[in-house]
Amino acid sequence: MNKIAVAGVGYVGLVTGVCLAEKGQQVTCVDTDSQKISQLNQGTPTIYEPGLQALLHKNIAANRLTFTTMAKEAYIDADVIFICVGTPEQADGSANLNYVYQVATTIAQYAKENALIVIKSTVPIGTNEKLKEFFRAMGLGFEVASNPEFLAQGSAIRDTLAGHRIVLGVESERAERLLKSVYAAFEQPFVVTDLASAEMVKYAANDFLALKISFVNDIANLCERVGANIEDVTKGIGYDPRIGNQFLRAGIGYGGSCFPKDTKALHWLAEEEGYILRTVKAAIDVNEKQKYKLLQLAKQEIDTFRGKKVAVLGLTFKPETDDLRESPALPNIQMLLAEGAEIRAYDPEGMERARVVLGDGIRFVNSAKEALEQAEICFIFTDWAEMKALTPNDFITGMRRPLIFDGRNCFDMDVMRAVPEIRYVSIGRPKTGVARCADMIL
C-alpha cells in the first residue's frame, strides 16, 4: 500500500481519489475549498456521478480515504502526489496553468524529498518538463511523471476502475515501478512513454473523438439536404472495424469540460509551433455551428418565439452528469429568452446549477411531463433516459399541438412517423408530421 495525496477535489481529483482508495491505497485528498472538504468528509459527493456516493462512503468508513484543507497533512508523508486541478481555457484557447503551479508551490513546502509528483490534469505538451525546471529553480529535485486520465462523465467510476489502458509518462525505472505499484490492482495494460508523449496521448485521444463527432454531424447535415438518414449511414459505416460504432451519434455537438477545451488548446499549441492542425480546426468550427442547429431547424417552422410556451428537456451537456459546462442547451435557452419565449425546463440533475447560470428567466419544473404541459414547442437538448422513455401519447396529451425539435435523436423514426399529430424534427433524419407556421401552432 502506498500513501497517496490527491491535489484538487474537482471531477478528476475526487474520482481518482475514491477509485485509488477502492483499490487499497491510502489516500488523502486536499483542496482549499473548505465547504467541499466538509461536505466530502460527511460522505456527500460534491458532484453527481453514478456509483460515486457508495464508494465514497465505503472508503471513508474503511479509513482509506480522508479529505483535508491542510496541505502539510496531505503531502508530508505522501509517496505519490497526483495534481488534479483545473486547467481552464484562456481567451486565446491556451490552457491556464496557474492552479498547477499554485499546487506545485505548496508541494515544494511540504513534500518529502523522494515523493513522486504526477500530473493527471490535462496540460499542454512540455508542462511536465517546465514543472521539473520550476522545482529545480527552488533547489528541489522532485521527480515528475505524467499520468493522464481518460474518464468520461456519467461513466467515470467504470472508466477508472475498468479502463482500457493506463498511460505512464516517466523518466526512470523507479517512477515506473512506483506508479505500477499504485495501479497494480487495476488489471489494465500499461503504456509507458516519455513525458511529452504521455501529454500528447491525452490531447490526441480527446481531439480524435471530437473529430468523429463533428464528422458525423457534418454528414448528418448533408443527409438532410439529400434525403438520407444519418442513422442508417452510421450503422452502415459502424460495422467496419476500422471505423467502429462509438461516437457516431448525430446531434447538436459536444460540450463538457474536455472536448471544447482540449481541441482549442491543441490547436493553439500547434499554432505556437508554427503548424496548423486543420482537422482539429474543422472539428471546432463544425461544433460551434452545430450547437445552434436545433434553433435553425425551428426557425424554418416558426416565424417567432415571442409569447410561445416552450418546453426544454435537458440542460446538462450529456446525461448522467450535473455538469453544464459548454452545454449546447444554455446558449440556445438564452437565445430563446432573448426572442421572448416562455420557458419551462427540466433536467434530472442539472437544475440547481442551471438556476445559478440562467437566473429567474425560466421556470424549472419537477419532471419532463410537467415541462410539456400546454407547451407549443419542445426542445430536447440532452438524451437522458427519462426523456427517451417519453411516448408519443405523452407529447399529444401534454402539449397543445406537438412540435418537437430533438437535438439528440431520442426517438425511433418509425414510431414518430406513425403519429401524424406530432411534427417531429431531429438531426440528419427525415421530418415527420405536417409542417406548420407560427399561427397554426396556437
Domain check: are 79 and 185 in the same one?
A: yes
Domain check: are 246 and 361 in the same one?
A: no
**363 Cβ contact list (under 8 Å, min separation 6):** 343, 344, 345
Residue 25 buriedness (CB in 10 A; 0-12 / 13-18 / 19+): buried
Q: Helix axis angle, 278-290 relative to 195-226, nearest 10°?
A: 50
CA dist 16 and 427 (Å) reads: 36
Average pLDDT, the chain: 95
**Known binder of ligand: residue 120?**
no
> Domain total for the chain?
3
Residue with cell 462512503: 57
Give me the percent of the chain exceeding a pLDDT of 90.
Answer: 93
Count the residues in the chain: 442
Domain boundary among 251, 269, 290: 290
- Per the CB < 8 A criterion, the answer to whether 373 and 398 are in contact is yes
3-state class (DSSP) for residue 316? coil
CA dist 3 and 5 (Å) reads: 7
Amino acid at the residue 113: E
Domain check: are 186 and 49 in the same one?
A: yes
97/441: higher pLDDT: 97
Q: How confident is the model at residue 360 (pLDDT cuts 50, 70, 90)?
A: confident
| Cα 390 from chain centroid (whole Å) | 25
The reported pLDDT for the residue numbered 442 is: 37
- Total Cβ atoms within 10 A of residue 104: 25
The reported pLDDT for the residue numbered 285 is: 98
Domain check: are 414 and 304 in the same one?
A: yes
| CA nearest to 123, candidates 284, 271, 250, 265 | 265
| pLDDT beyond 60 at 441 | no
Domain check: are 258 and 351 in the same one?
A: no
Give pLDDT tens digits for 19-65.
999 999 999 999 999 999 999 999 999 999 999 999 999 999 999 99
CATH code at position 261: 1.10.1040.10
Domain check: are 69 and 170 in the same one?
A: yes
Domain check: are 230 and 338 in the same one?
A: no
Give pLDDT tens digits for 413-434.
999 989 999 999 999 999 988 7
CATH code at position 109: 3.40.50.720
Q: Does 437 qualify as catalytic in the annotation?
A: no
Domain check: are 151 and 189 in the same one?
A: yes
Residue 130 buriedness (CB in 10 A; 0-12 / 13-18 / 19+): middle
In the DSSP assignment, the letter for residue 4 is E
Is the Cα torsion angle 27, 32, 37, 38 positive or negative in sign? positive
| CA nearest to 348, candidates 395, 382, 393 | 382
Domain check: are 302 and 427 in the same one?
A: yes
CA dist 425 and 404 (Å) reads: 6
**Known binder of ligand: residue 249?**
yes
The reported pLDDT for the residue numbered 28 is: 98
Residue 417 buriedness (CB in 10 A; 0-12 / 13-18 / 19+): middle
Backbone angles phi, psi at 405, to 5 degrees: -115, 110
**Known binder of ligand: residue 87?**
yes
3-state class (DSSP) for residue 306? coil
The reported pLDDT for the residue numbered 114 is: 95
Give pLDDT tens digits for 234-272.
999 999 999 999 999 999 999 998 999 999 999 999 999
CA dist 224 and 433 (Å) reads: 16
CA dist 42 and 38 (Å) reads: 6
CA dist 47 and 104 (Å) reads: 25
Q: How confident is the model at residue 129 (pLDDT cuts 50, 70, 90)?
A: very high
Amino acid at the residue 56: L
**Known binder of ligand: residue 64?**
no
Domain check: are 16 and 163 in the same one?
A: yes
Domain check: are 116 and 239 in the same one?
A: no
Residue 338 buriedness (CB in 10 A; 0-12 / 13-18 / 19+): exposed
Amino acid at the residue 57: H
**Known binder of ligand: residue 255?**
yes
3-state class (DSSP) for residue 174? helix
**Known binder of ligand: residue 160?**
no
Domain check: are 322 and 378 in the same one?
A: yes
Domain boundary among 173, 193, 213: 193
Which residues make beta-bridge pairs with 30?
Answer: 7, 68
Domain boundary among 138, 167, 193: 193
Residue 208's H or E segment, with its range, is: helix 195-226
**Known binder of ligand: residue 261?**
yes
Give me the percent of the chain exceeding a pLDDT of 70.
Answer: 98
**Known binder of ligand: residue 31?**
yes
Domain containing 24 equals 3-193
**Known binder of ligand: residue 278?**
no
| Catalytically annotated residue among 29, 84, 223, 258 | 258
**Known binder of ligand: residue 251?**
yes
Cell of 8: 484538487
| Cα 99 from chain centroid (whole Å) | 20
